[in-house]
Structure 1
Amino acid sequence: MEVQVGGIFGLIVLIADIWAIVRTVQSGASTGAKVFWVVLIILLPVLGLIIWFIFGPRG
């Protein structure tokens, strides 16, 4: 049974996106900011994750 590289990459992106969403919801940012970041991460899984990592809410 061979696992495709795209499948592994997709799984890693999914796990990272879920982690980013959880971190965003737990942050001290306003509700509007949380909604913005979660929607961005869901609509643009890879790019949204990179943008969130650089500019997203902390703590």
Structure 2
Amino acid sequence: MIDTHDRPVGDIVWDLYAYVLDRIGPVPTLIEWDANVPGWTTLKAQADRAETVMLARSQAALSVA
């Protein structure tokens, strides 16, 4: 995978993120933009998606326990 830090996170990366969260649990997450930084709406949407994935994986882990 190539991480260019200049566009929205791709679906394959979101899948990898969920996979990792299933194994290690919720952790602080940074979505990094180094170039072509978009407007606040896009940045907020990406942060919200990370939060949604993390919460979903956390709730799934709790329901199994």
Same fold (TM over 0.5): no
TM-score normalised by length of structure 1: 0.44
Give the TM-score normalised by the residue count of structure 2: 0.40
Question: Which structure has more RCO (C-alpha within 8 Å, separation ≥ 6)?
Answer: 2
Higher helix share: 1
